[in-house]
Structure 1
Amino acid sequence: MAINFSHDTLGQRLLFGSGKAAQHLAMEVSRLGAQRVMLIAAPYESQIAQAVTQQISVHISYQDVVQHVPIEKAEDARRVAIEHEIDLLVCVGGGSTTGLAKAVAMTTGIPIIAVATTYAGSEATNVWGLTEAARKTTGVDNKVLPVTVVYDAELTYSLPVELSVASGLNAMAHCIDSLWAPRADPINQALAAEGIHALASGLPRIAENPIDEQGREEALYGAYLSAVSFASAGSGMHHKICHVLGGTYNLPHAQTHATVLPYVLAFNAPFAPRADARIAAAFETSTGLEGLNRLREKLNAPQALKDYGFNEADIEEAVSIALPIIPESNPRPVTAENLAELLHAAWAGTKPTSN
Structure 2
Amino acid sequence: MQPFIFNSLPGRVIFGRGTLSQVASEIENLGCSKALVLTGPSQAATGEALRADLGNAAVGLYSNARMHTPVNVTEEAVELARTLGAGCVVAIGGGSTVGLAKAIALRTDFPQIVIPTTYSGSEATTIVGQTENGIKTTQKTLKVLPEVIIYDVDLTLTLPTQLTMTSGINAMAHAIEALYAVDSNPITDMVAEQGIARLACALPILSKDPHNSEARSDALYGAWACAYCVGIVSLALHHKLCHTLGGTLNLPHSETHTVILPYAVVYNTPYAVDAMAKVARILGSTSAAQGIYDLARTLGAPSSLRELGAKEEDLERVADVAMTKTYPNPGPLDRGKILSLLKDAYEGKRPA
TM-score interval (norm. to shorter): over 0.9
1:199 equivalent in alignment to 2:199: yes
TM-score (norm 1): 0.94
The Cα shift of 1:51 comes to 4.4
User: Which has the larger displacement, 344-353 or 287-296?
Assistant: 287-296
TM-superposition CA deviations, 1:223-256 (whole Å, max 9, x none)? 1011110111121110001110000110001100
Residues 174-213 of structure 1 aligned to structure 2 (within 5 Å): 174-213=174-213
Say whether 1:33 aligns with 2:31: yes
2:294 paired residue number: 294
- Structure 2 match to 1:165: 165
Does structure 1 residue 16 correspond to structure 2 residue 15? yes
Q: Check conservation: 2:262, 2:290, Cα contact below 8 A.
A: no
Contact 2:43 2:63 (8 Å CA) reproduced: no
The number of aligned residues is 350
Q: 2: CA distance between counterparts of 1:216 and 1:97?
A: 21
Which amino acid letter does the alignment assign opposite residue 182 of structure 1?
V
Structure 2 residue aligned with 1:340? 339
Counterpart Cα distance in 2 of 1:114 and 1:162 = 23
- Identical residues among aligned pairs (%): 37
Give CA-to-partner distance per residue, 1:116-172, whole Å, 9 cap, x none.
000010111111111111101100121211111111121112221111111111101
Distance 1:202 1:296 in 2: 13
Answer yes or no: is the 8 Å Cα contact 1:25–1:53 preserved in 2.
no
- Bigger mean CA offset, 93-102 vs 267-276: 267-276
**C-alpha RMSD of matched pairs (Å):** 1.5
Cα deviation for residue 260 of structure 1 reads: 0.3
- SS of the residue aligned with 1:183? coil
User: 2 CA distance for matches of 1:262 and 1:349?
Assistant: 10
Q: Distance in 2 between matches of 1:54 and 1:192?
A: 38
Once residues 237 and 335 of structure 2 are traced to their aligned partners in structure 1, the CA distance between those partners, rounded to angstroms, is: 13
Alignment partner of 1:217: what SS?
helix
Distance in 1 of aligned mates of 2:51 and 2:217: 21
In the alignment, the residues of structure 2 paired with residue 70 and residue 166 of structure 1 have an alpha-carbon distance, to the nearest angstrom, of 22
Kindly provide the amino acid, as one letter, of the partner of residue 250 in structure 1: N
User: Which residue of structure 2 lines up, in the alignment, with residue 315 of structure 1?
Assistant: 315
Amino acid corresponding to residue 297 of structure 1 in structure 2: R
- Which TM-score applies when normalising by structure 2? 0.95
1:312: how far off? 0.4
> Alpha-carbon deviation of 1:281?
2.8
d(CA) in 2 for partners of 1:290, 1:352: 6
Report 1:15-94 matches (<5 A): 15-21=14-20, 23-53=21-51, 55-57=53-55, 58-94=58-94
Does the Cα contact within 8 Å between 2:290 and 2:350 map onto a contact in 1? no
CA distance in 2, matches of 1:179, 1:52: 37
Q: Which runs of 5+ in 1 are unaligned?
A: none
Q: CA deviation at 1:326?
A: 5.1
Moved beyond 6 Å, runs of 4+: none
- The amino acid of 2:228's aligned partner reads V
Q: CA deviation at 1:10?
A: 0.6
Separation of aligned partners in 2, 1:68 and 1:224: 20
C-alpha separation in 1, matches of 2:155 and 2:326: 35
- Secondary structure at 1:92 match in 2: strand
- The separation in 2 between residues aligned to 1:323 and 1:210, in whole angstroms, is 40
Of 168-177 and 186-195, the range deviating more from structure 2: 186-195
Aligned-residue offset at 1:271? 2.5
Task: Using the TM superposition, give the Cα deviation of residue 16 of structure 1 relative to its aligned residue in structure 2, in angstroms.
Answer: 0.7
1:299, distance to aligned residue in structure 2 (A): 0.5
Q: Which amino acid aligns with 2:107?
A: T
Partner AA of 1:26 in structure 2: A
Which structure 2 residue ranges, 5 or more long, are not aligned?
A: none
